[in-house]
Amino acid sequence: MRRAAWVLAATAGVVAGAAASQSGPAHVMYPLLHVHPATLRVQAAPAPPATERVLWNFTTVADLSDWTESSDGTEREVGMSTGAFHLQKTARFQRAVLFSLLNPQPNGAGFVGYYANGTWDLSQFKQINVRARAQGQNYRYKVYLKHHDQLDQGGSYESFFEMPQDSLTTVSLPLDSFAFYYRGRRVDDAPPLDTAAITRIGLQIYGGVYQPEKQSGVSSLEVDWITASQ
Ligand SMILES: *[C@@H]1O[C@H](CO)[C@@H](O)[C@H](O)[C@H]1NC(C)=O
Ligand SMILES: *[C@@H]1O[C@H](CO)[C@@H](O)[C@H](O)[C@H]1NC(C)=O
C-alpha cells in the first residue's frame, strides 16, 4: 500500500509537472485536478472481500460468444448428441437457454454441454450458484470445472444436481463437492480442485453411463445467472 501510494503520487507529480511546463503558469490548476483522484484512491480503505461474484449474468450479457459446445457429438467419433446455447431476448426479459438432444450410446454414454475458458480465482468462495429453470425430458445436470493447464487433458471436476420440473430455482453447489471424473467415471486419487486457478467453467446434461439413472431425449435449461458466493 505504502509503495503503491508513492508510485501514484510520483505519477501524479510527473503528470502535473509535464502539463504545467507545456501549458504555462496560467494552467497550473489543471494538473491539480488529476492529482486529486489519485490521492483519494490511495486513502480509500481496502475493500472487504466480496461475498458474491457474478460469473455470468445472462439477463444482461451482450452475447454468448465466450461459450463453446462440448457434446459427445463434437468430442467423440461415435457421438450422436447435440445442443445449442441460445441467448433469448424478448421485449421484457433475457436469459440463456441450453437446449439439448441426448442420443446416448447403448450403455448410456453421452453428453451435451457448453463451456467457457478463462482464469478464475474462486478461493474466497464456498459455492457456485446457478439460477435456472428446467423443462423437457431430463432434469439432471452438472457444472464442471478444470484447473491449471488441464484444458487439453481429459477429465474434469464435476458436481451433479437435479432441477425441479418447470420451476425457477437457485441451485448451490459447494466447491468442495466437485470431484474428478474421467469420461463419466469418478477418479478418487486425483488431486483436489485448485479453486484459485480455475481455467474452465462448463454446464452439461449427461446420459449417465456410470450413474444409476440414465437420461436421453430433449431438454431445456433456462439460465438467469451463474455466481460464486461465500
Ligand atoms: C443480474 O442482472 C439483473 C438486472 O440488472 C439484476 O436484477 C440481478 O440482480 C443480477 N443478478 C445478479 C446475481 O447479480
Ligand atoms: C479452450 O482452451 C483449450 C486449451 O488451450 C483449447 O484447446 C480450446 O480450443 C479452447 N476453447 C476455446 C473455445 O477457445
Q: For 211-222, what is each residue's pLDDT tens digit?
A: 999 999 999 999
- Residue 133 sits in the same domain as residue 111: yes
Q: Whose CA is nearest to atom 1 of ligand 1?
A: 57
Q: Do the domain assignments include residue 47?
A: no
- Determine the pLDDT at residue 209: 92
User: Is the separation of the CB atoms in 102 and 141 below 8 Å?
Assistant: no
Render pLDDT for 146-205 as a digit per residue (tens, 0 to 9): 999 876 678 999 999 999 999 999 999 999 999 999 988 999 999 999 999 999 999 999
Domain of residue 112 covers 53-229
Considering the domain architecture, whether residues 172 and 124 belong to the same structural domain is answered as yes
Number of domains the chain contains: 2
Distance of CA 200 from the midpoint of ligand 2 (Å): 9
Chain segment 186-198, per-residue pLDDT in tens:
999 999 999 999 9
For 1-50, write each residue's pLDDT tens digit: 444 443 343 334 333 433 444 444 444 444 444 445 555 555 567 777 78
Closest CA to 107 of 135, 140, 156, 72: 72
Burial label for 19, CB within 10 Å (0-12, 13-18, 19+), is middle
Please indicate, yes or no, whether residues 16 and 100 belong to a single structural domain of this protein: no
Taking the CA of residue 117 as reference, the ligand 2 atom at the shortest distance is: 1
Domain membership of residue 32 (yes or no) is: yes
Q: What is the CATH number of the domain that holds 135?
A: 2.60.120.260
Q: How far apart are the first and last CA of the chain?
A: 26
Going 230 to 52 to 150 to 184, the CA torsion angle's sign is positive
Asked whether residue 66 is assigned to any structural domain, the reply reads: yes
What would you report as the CA-atom Rg of the chain, rounded to the nearest whole angstrom? 24
